[in-house]
Structure 1
Amino acid sequence: MTVSKCINLAGSVLLLCLCGATDAQAAPESASAISLRAKYAELTSKLTSNQFKRPLVLESSETPDTLKGDIYALVDHPFTEVSTVLNGPSRWCDVLILHLNTKYCRAANSDAGTTLNVSVGKKDDQQLDAAYRVNFLYRQGTSAPTYFDTRLDAKKGPLGTSNYRIMLEAVEVPGNKTFLHLTYSYTFGFTSKIAMQAYLSTVGSDKVGFTSNGKQADGQPDYIGGMRGVVERNTMRYYLAIDSYLDAPAAAQVDTRLQGWFAATEEYPLQLHEVERSDYLAMKRHEIERQKTAQ
């Protein structure tokens, strides 16, 4: 081979490499990814030091007809692992069933798309025909090398509630970790508001959330109650279900994630303790077995 041909060949190889590098760099991050990464930078100090003793920040809001909870958390899992593990409707059923009030979850295909048929009910064992059915439309949104988002939307819920949304987005951050943002929200009407007020004035009268309005006379935090307290508790339960599933996603690890979810909720007994470990495990094992065959 002549010198000139070698030079030409080397030039071609270099051009291909440069073109490849240019193509790889030509796809900028989406606005959502940039926004979530900026949120991570904003919350760095709160993620490091907070009441939860884990890298987590919880925010909530209440309007005349809507409740919303947001959790931002740093998880010790690579982004590629998180995006794979939390991709797919059946995996989301494995997540949702960990929640105390989820009695059943099954994915099904319809003309509208993939639906998660979810039954929600009491904190103890319950027949499915006595639970409420909520049909979530599963939407896999953006899926990029460093960002993804997934949404579950339901038009109708129990007792006059509506417009349910569970949204999760995640972005890759330094240290081979992943920054998550979970949103849980719904709209309530007159019937659901009356039902909730009745609950909060009776069996739920001592229930509180995680946001503090200051200190009580004895120096203890004055945690919010009411409907914001309700949405904060449920948002945390859903987040801990996601976190427990990430730690044990294999089919053979069902018991590990059940144990993990319960242990995590018991870190916040004032807000989240409802049943004893043995009762929770027995109930969930039964529910998971039941949803394999029930329609």
Structure 2
Amino acid sequence: MRFWSPCSRAALVCSLLLGLQGPALADPAALRERHEALRDALRGSPFGRPLHLESRQMGESLQGDVYAVLDHSFEKVRDALAQPANWCDVMILPFNTKYCHAVQADGGPALMVRIGRRYDQPVEHAFRLQFDHRLVAASPRYFECRLSAQEGPVGTRDYRIVVSAIPLDGGRTFLHLGYAYGFGTMGRIAMHAYLATAGADKVGFTRVNNGAGGHGLIGGMRGAVERNAMRYYLAIDTFLDSLDAPPAQRAERRIQGWFDATERYPLQLREMDRRTYVSMKRMEVERQQTLLP
């Protein structure tokens, strides 16, 4: 089965709360309008769940947006994602995150993260990022949280992860995840090298015209940003699921649950077998409890 979500001009204009040129103002009314505009797309989503994904490239910036209806109450989403330490339980789940620890930096909360070029890269050789954590809104009717990092691996920069949410009827939540970053010459060269070798067969979720009278799934840099946006969305949903388990069982539930969730889209997201992933993440979850130098 192929998965895609066509991205119209109107949808691009309405990509809310994560402008590539600068942070947008918190706007719960705009998110409600987005939910209404996507109602039919969410109901008929090819993802097997009420989810819509978009991506775009503008010059030296890439952005992926996931909109989804969660089977979690708004209060649960808001209270859990307002806590910086909980974000490390989210961030550690994607395969190439080697470490995450919440700290106080420059007068505010931050996440010290290490990203590996390869899933098996030793943590001491992984790239260090500092994501500043900013809680924009946590009211009874609207939530917004932003993570930002000035520098990333292999020539990338200006990383932004924005999560916003509003309550829906029936104890559900409409959530928007925006994931974006910029790149310069070095980043472009590194990405093209990856896409010509290990990433040559990697695709995203959006269906596009392949130029030969047919259609295929998008590849290249937009395919990469779509895969990462989906990984982070699945990490958030899996983390929220794990909160229903006893505390001692939550880490294992997150690890197993994230792998299960990514296996629903193996063409895009499969990187390794379950045994390799689970063994690696058990070690990394244990390691993140300690602040590394």
Q: In the alignment, is residue 95 of structure 1 matched against residue 90 of structure 2?
A: yes
Taking the aligned partners of 1:51 and 1:215, their CA distance within structure 2 comes to: 20
- Select the residue among 242, 245, 259 that pairs with 1:248: 242
Q: In the alignment, is residue 265 of structure 1 matched against residue 262 of structure 2?
A: yes
1:189 match: 184
Shift of 1:123: 4.5
- Tell whether the 8 Å contact from 1:33 to 1:147 is kept in structure 2 after alignment: yes
2:202 match: 207
Taking the aligned partners of 1:112 and 1:79, their CA distance within structure 2 comes to: 29
Sequence identity percentage: 50
1:239 match: 233
Taking the aligned partners of 1:165 and 1:113, their CA distance within structure 2 comes to: 17
Q: In the alignment, is residue 158 of structure 1 matched against residue 153 of structure 2?
A: yes
2:106 match: 111
- Select the residue among 41, 44, 51 that pairs with 1:46: 41
Taking the aligned partners of 2:43 and 2:81, their CA distance within structure 1 comes to: 25
Specify the structure having the higher radius of gyration (Cα): 1
Taking the aligned partners of 1:293 and 1:65, their CA distance within structure 2 comes to: 36
Q: SS in structure 2 opposite 1:158? A: coil
Structure 2 CA distance for partners of 1:164 and 1:202, relative to 1, 3 Å: same
State the TM-score, normalized to the length of structure 1: 0.86
Shift of 1:82: 1.2
Q: SS in structure 2 opposite 1:91? A: helix
- Tell whether the 8 Å contact from 2:26 to 2:137 is kept in structure 1 after alignment: no
State the TM-score, normalized to the length of structure 2: 0.87
2:217 match: 223
Q: SS in structure 2 opposite 1:159? A: coil
Number of equivalences = 265
- Select the residue among 38, 52, 61 that pairs with 1:57: 52
Once the two structures are overlaid, the 10-residue window that deviates more, 247-256 or 72-81, is 247-256
- Tell whether the 8 Å contact from 1:216 to 1:222 is kept in structure 2 after alignment: no
- Tell whether the 8 Å contact from 1:123 to 1:274 is kept in structure 2 after alignment: no
Residue segments in structure 1 that go unaligned for 5+ positions in a row:
1-29
Q: SS in structure 2 opposite 1:194? A: helix
Taking the aligned partners of 2:234 and 2:211, their CA distance within structure 1 comes to: 28
Shift of 1:164: 0.4
2:17 match: none
2:78 match: 83
> What is the root-mean-square deviation of aligned Cα atoms in Å?
1.7
Structure 2 CA distance for partners of 1:280 and 1:31, relative to 1, 3 Å: closer
- Tell whether the 8 Å contact from 1:66 to 1:188 is kept in structure 2 after alignment: yes
Q: In the alignment, is residue 178 of structure 1 matched against residue 182 of structure 2?
A: no
